[in-house]
């Protein structure tokens, strides 16, 4: 479901103008543990793999954590730890993280505002991105500083029904159900 989410929503709805060119080489690693420490160790391995690889061979990666981070606050704290580790490992300025979670909430927005869906995903995940690729992609985008607001407006216009038309499988995902009701496992 993760790859379909990237293709149908992130690329298909134009939420990330940089995603389409690297879609075919996108690496998706799924953590098989619900233990935060084990998830962190696996994440660090993926960080090393991305940093050590040639950019053309491994331009970007998603680290999906289907178990153990259903609670958004717990996930957010883990994200901060992972971001700190990225810097401690010497990858600051080379790599950065983007965050996605089924219950993602932007501060100051109503809980049911569709704008949250710009960063909501079927499973908790971290996106490892090469900063050089972002800079290169931003150079070809008109007014890149407007991307987040444009995406929020687009999700509001799309609404829940439009979102489900784009990707019907989301109806059975954590995006529209309580995390405790979900038993499916992610596919890369």
User: Is the pLDDT score of 100 beyond 60?
Assistant: yes
In a domain, 188, yes or no: no
Alpha-carbon gap, residue 127 to 118, rounded angstroms: 14
In a domain, 169, yes or no: yes
Which pLDDT does position 93 carry in this prediction?
A: 96
Domain range for 78: 2-177
In a domain, 22, yes or no: yes
In a domain, 187, yes or no: no
Number of domains in the chain: 1
Residues 6+ apart with CB under 8 A from 126: 43, 62, 63, 65, 79, 82, 97, 98, 99, 100
Which pLDDT does position 65 carry in this prediction?
A: 98
Give me the chain's average pLDDT, please: 90
The reported pTM is 0.90
Convert the pLDDT of each residue in 125-147 to its tens digit: 999 999 998 888 778 778 888 98
């Amino acid at each position: 479901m993760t790859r379909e989410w990237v293709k149908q929503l992130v690329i298909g709805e134009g939420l990330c103008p940089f995603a389409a060119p690297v879609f075919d080489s996108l690496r998706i690693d799924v953590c098989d543990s619900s233990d935060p420490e084990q998830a962190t160790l696996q994440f660090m391995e993926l960080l090393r793999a991305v940093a050590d690889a040639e950019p053309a061979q491994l331009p970007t990666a998603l680290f999906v954590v289907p178990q153990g981070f259903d609670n958004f606050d717990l996930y957010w704290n883990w994200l901060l730890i992972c971001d700190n580790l990225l810097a401690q490992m010497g990858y600051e300025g080379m790599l950065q993280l983007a965050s996605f979670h089924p219950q993602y909430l932007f501060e100051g927005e109503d809980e049911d505002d569709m704008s949250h869906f710009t960063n909501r995903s079927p499973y908790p995940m971290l996106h490892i991105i090469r900063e050089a690729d972002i800079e290169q992609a931003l150079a070809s985008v008109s007014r890149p500083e407007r991307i987040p607001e444009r995406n929020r407006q687009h999700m509001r216009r799309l609404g829940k029904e439009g979102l489900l038309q784009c990707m019907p499988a989301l109806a059975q995902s954590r995006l529209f159900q309580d995390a405790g009701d979900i038993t499916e496992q992610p596919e890369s």
